[in-house]
Structure 1
Amino acid sequence: MTAIDRSTVTGRPRPDDGRPVAPSRTDRVVRSLSQAIGGPLGRHGRNPPRRRFWIPIRVVLLAAVIMAGLAWLQKYPCADGGWTDFQQYTQYCYSDIRALWGAERLDQGAVPYFDHPVEYPALTGVFMGIFGLASHALLGAGGGTLYYHLSAVVLLGFGVAAVASVYRMRPGRPFDAMMLAVAPMVLLTAGVNWDLLAVGLTCFFLAAFARGRVVAAGVLWGLAVAAKFYPLLIAGPLLLLAWRHRRLGPALSATGIAAATWLLVNLPFMLWAPDGWRRFFELNSERGIDWGTSWYILRHFAEVGGGLDSALQGLGAAQGWLYGTLNHVDTLNWLYLVAFVLCCSGIAWLALFAAEPPRLAQLVFLVVATFLLTGKVWSQQYVLWLIPLAVLARPKWRLFLVWQVGELLYFFGFYSELLTVSESQDSPAPAWGLVIPEWVFVMTSIARFVTLTILVVAVVRDVLDPARDVVRRTYRGDPDAGPLLPAGGPASVTVRTPPPRRGR
């Protein structure tokens, strides 16, 4: 098939020769690591091998299943809920799923929203209710451990399915999905909350849309938004790209179907349990600065900045004003909204005016990343939102691993901070060396902020210089744009047909 070969413009060689891309050939990090097992795939090697069991999809899914099992084991020490001596922090196994068994009155057989307000969107509440009521019916108030394990296994199943979806979206780059399968932060945060439900549904939506299945994509998108609100952020990039490609119809159809699906899920609770249903929206408007956010970092320096007043006259007054402003919830809401809108304006400019239309995954990653960078809440498990989007936007291992290291530093710093603020004179912290001063936690927060910002800058650079985009070297146009493409169908793998062999 014909395809635009951008290497003729840039002078760079194409990494594909009609076969799926082998990362040991095209990625410097993987190429270096491959030396431990004999070096990169040779030019006479087959990829994928014929008539062999270990084809790429099986390798990737096996890795995903192993990581899911390890994630389940990592949270296992906290599954019974009998946390003593700050076990949930010293063993890094805290889980909202287990903690909220009692807090949401699931141990009493309460029906979410109807009997008790829930701080999560409707589909997540339904998920909680199904397993909560089943566990209570079987074991009564002692069903918390069963409730956790049932929830965790199903959520991890969504995680494995998300890996399969990413694989399906990149048939020409099958090992891109391995980045999601083995990401360290998936192992550590998969069981913290119910986010994998929304992450899986979002990946299903992106895969369905890439294949041109607009109705199915709209339904999956609506379900994803009903589980967590962050998939709603996809609407802006989708509509902007549709406008640029002059194909608004499919994007508007998917958006309308998603809105109808969301309403269908939420309507019973809106009508018959409005107070419990509204709790999610009220909580988000009432929340102040959360751990580790950019605003938390700024407030920390506002607190300590007054000590420089002798050197910089007037800094003390400015520091006091800034500290008071950040602690005023209504003002904070406006500040982070303005910051996010300004970032989105820049992303919209890229979508509409970059020399080459950006890929959908690139824009979605940028919007979700800036939402976290500018937001007042940045929970540890929100990294799960970004990992599949980062893989689809920029499947290069080096900066991906740098970002994961930043997230790891924050993860361990966060649990040390929780241990620090939770200890009391009656319950001293264990002698694990985990209690840290506040400035250390702030440094880990800065590490997370900086490493994600570096990855955002790299994606923007790929948008401005498409020759750097490894996905564009493998595919014709955008493999995720589906019905937005001028041809009206999903992008296909760019296959360069080799010249016919001459007989001897």
Structure 2
Amino acid sequence: MTTTEARVPLMARAVPYLPLGLIAALGASLAYVVRLPCRTGGWNEQISTYTNFCYTDIYPLYFDRSLATQNPYFADVPFDKQVEYPVVLGEVMQVISWIARAISPDQGVQAAKFYDLTVVLLGFSLVAGVLLMAAVAGPTRRWDALWYAVAPAVVLAAYINWDLVAGALSMGMLLAWARHRQVLAGVLLGLAIATKFYPLMFVGALFLLAWRTGRWRPFLVTFGSAVGAWIVVNAPFMLFAWDGWRRFYVFSQERGVDWGSPWLFFQSKGWAVLGETDVSTLGMASLAVLCLGIAVLTLSAPRRPRLAQICFLALAAFMMTNKVWSPQFVLWLVPFAVLARPNWKPIVLWQLAEIWYFLAIWLYLLAQPPLSRADLGIGDNTYFTAVWARAITIAIMMAFVVRDILRPEKDVVRQGGVDDQVGGAFDEAPDRFTLAPAVR
């Protein structure tokens, strides 16, 4: 925050954010309306859930993960019935289930209230994430946060799972880093990783830019704070509920190829080398290759890349090489895609692909066993057009970001005279190490 901004009263600084907050609240409300057909009873009938495009994990997991009766990490249930999420998210689910159980003794009512209370939390998370993103983008690009507030794919996917909580923590981490609050940035990053695993990719982005600028102390402070926060929230469960704690990591390792992943396409074609026993290795190897490319790009670009650009590339690489690519993963990428390159044309193209995938996955599941309603659903070929549409449109956005990094005069953010609005300690930093001479 500049000295001039510090002199402006807090209320005056907050006024420009009020419309964004209201629009984000509208987006959160629209997301609730999308699932109203199921909220009024449709979740109890699978076909209507899919034909109304209103599926959510929140309602069924209340029953399937012991939330109706026990603490998920300490529950005496089979391993595959334990909560398969990191501990912050698992305990958020637990606290909300306690409140739901206090409202009514009837488990059906409890599950509905569990969904409603979770939606309230997720709605506040969306509003917070939008406002934090607007603050991160800066006064000249504040309205770019509208993409996160009311983008159609965000509205459709908002309440499938709990991803918006990690999104708010990630935006808070970026804002804290941009304001040179390295300890707070690290704490929020550690909590985000303990909520959903994908924010771990941002550690690599910070590391690469610290390497290029030589500004290691801010990175190490943030990294150390992240590790400390992660240990604080994880240690009690590691010590007293080991099986429940490790469920997420075992599940992630053993999970086979699942919906949305390009690997599923190859597997459906019968490519033996892409069998389920090999896909974890293939995925990690593919991610390693892409991350190596991002590292070379970061260290050899003619001008230091912006932090949001590297975060976007790393996160997109993680999603595209993962064994599963659920519809709600769009929530991970939207704010970083917009911060990396706020150009509406490729974003609209990607949003259309995400909308098509959101519709296609439920229609495809209708045609699969056990429902096998081919008259209501779609087949393999149509479904995989949606899978590849997402991958290709994200690859196009990645290509444009790479172009902006190699030709910084094309970067619309920097055309406004900004070096790195998210850069924090890296903003305006001179290079200390680059691979540019070697590349040339």
Query: Highest Rg: 1 or 2?
Result: 1
Deviation for aligned residue 1:487: 6.2
Match of 2:403 in 1: 461
2:308, 2:339 within 8 Å by CA — same for their partners in 1? Answer: yes
Instruction: Quickly say closer, same or farther: Cα 1:59–1:137, change in 2 above 3 A.
Output: closer
Instruction: Quickly say closer, same or farther: Cα 1:139–1:281, change in 2 above 3 A.
Output: same
Deviation for aligned residue 1:64: 1.0
Q: 2:413 aligns to what SS in structure 1? A: helix
Match of 1:440 in 2: 382
Identity of aligned residues (%): 41
Deviation for aligned residue 1:59: 2.6
Hey, what's the Cα distance between the residues in 1 that align with 2:308 and 2:357?
A: 26
Does 1:327 find its partner at 2:287?
A: no
Alignment of 1:57-206 (within 5 A): 57-79=17-39, 82-84=43-45, 86-108=47-69, 110-115=70-75, 116=77, 117-140=82-105, 141-142=107-108, 143-169=110-136, 170-206=138-174
Deviation for aligned residue 1:57: 2.5
1:250, 1:484 within 8 Å by CA — same for their partners in 2? Answer: no
Deviation for aligned residue 1:185: 1.0
Deviation for aligned residue 1:243: 1.4
Instruction: Quickly say closer, same or farther: Cα 1:487–1:461, change in 2 above 3 A.
Output: closer
**Where does structure 1 lack aligned partners over 5 or more consecutive residues?**
1-51, 304-322, 489-504
Deviation for aligned residue 1:423: 5.2
Deviation for aligned residue 1:375: 1.3
The structure richer in helix per residue is 2
Does 1:337 find its partner at 2:302?
A: no
Does 1:482 find its partner at 2:429?
A: no
Hey, what's the Cα distance between the residues in 1 that align with 2:86 and 2:150?
A: 28
Offset from partner CA, 1:353-394 (integer Å, 9 cap, x none): 100000000000001101111111111101100001011101
Offset from partner CA, 1:422-444 (integer Å, 9 cap, x none): 4547xx57xxx641111100111
Deviation for aligned residue 1:277: 0.7
**Where does structure 2 lack aligned partners over 5 or more consecutive residues?**
1-11, 431-440
Hey, what's the Cα distance between the residues in 1 that align with 2:234 and 2:40?
A: 32
Relative to structure 2, which stretch is displaced further, 357-366 or 179-188? 179-188
Deviation for aligned residue 1:292: 2.1
Instruction: Quickly say closer, same or farther: Cα 1:131–1:470, change in 2 above 3 A.
Output: same
Deviation for aligned residue 1:298: 1.8
Deviation for aligned residue 1:56: 4.6
Deviation for aligned residue 1:137: 2.6
- TM-score, structure 1 as length reference: 0.78
Hey, what's the Cα distance between the residues in 2 that align with 1:190 and 1:441?
A: 22
Q: 1:193 aligns to what SS in structure 2? A: coil
Match of 2:4 in 1: none
Match of 1:235 in 2: 203
2:183, 2:222 within 8 Å by CA — same for their partners in 1? Answer: yes
Hey, what's the Cα distance between the residues in 2 that align with 1:418 and 1:366?
A: 30
Hey, what's the Cα distance between the residues in 2 that align with 1:238 and 1:441?
A: 37
Q: 1:172 aligns to what SS in structure 2? A: helix
Q: 2:258 aligns to what SS in structure 1? A: coil
Match of 2:437 in 1: none
2:421, 2:427 within 8 Å by CA — same for their partners in 1? Answer: no
Hey, what's the Cα distance between the residues in 2 that align with 1:469 and 1:55?
A: 29
Counterpart AA for 1:59: P
1:218, 1:256 within 8 Å by CA — same for their partners in 2? Answer: yes
Offset from partner CA, 1:318-367 (integer Å, 9 cap, x none): xxxxx3332232x2111111111000001001111100000000000001
Counterpart AA for 2:290: C
Counterpart AA for 2:275: N
Match of 1:41 in 2: none
Alignment of 1:103-502 (within 5 A): 103-108=64-69, 110-115=70-75, 116=77, 117-140=82-105, 141-142=107-108, 143-169=110-136, 170-300=138-268, 302-303=269-270, 323-329=271-277, 331-422=278-369, 424=371, 434-485=376-427
Hey, what's the Cα distance between the residues in 2 that align with 1:253 and 1:171?
A: 28
Counterpart AA for 1:240: L
2:420, 2:428 within 8 Å by CA — same for their partners in 1? Answer: no
Hey, what's the Cα distance between the residues in 1 that align with 2:352 and 2:222?
A: 36
Offset from partner CA, 1:128-158 (integer Å, 9 cap, x none): 0000122113213230000000001111111
Counterpart AA for 1:176: D
1:420, 1:435 within 8 Å by CA — same for their partners in 2? Answer: yes
Alignment of 1:17-56 (within 5 A): 56=16
- TM-score, structure 2 as length reference: 0.90
Deviation for aligned residue 1:165: 0.6
1:79, 1:98 within 8 Å by CA — same for their partners in 2? Answer: no
Counterpart AA for 1:196: L
Counterpart AA for 2:357: Y
Provide the aligned length of Structure 1 versus Structure 2. 411
Hey, what's the Cα distance between the residues in 1 that align with 2:179 and 2:17?
A: 19
Instruction: Quickly say closer, same or farther: Cα 1:352–1:422, change in 2 above 3 A.
Output: same
1:111, 1:133 within 8 Å by CA — same for their partners in 2? Answer: no
Hey, what's the Cα distance between the residues in 2 that align with 1:358 and 1:73?
A: 40
Instruction: Quickly say closer, same or farther: Cα 1:66–1:422, change in 2 above 3 A.
Output: farther
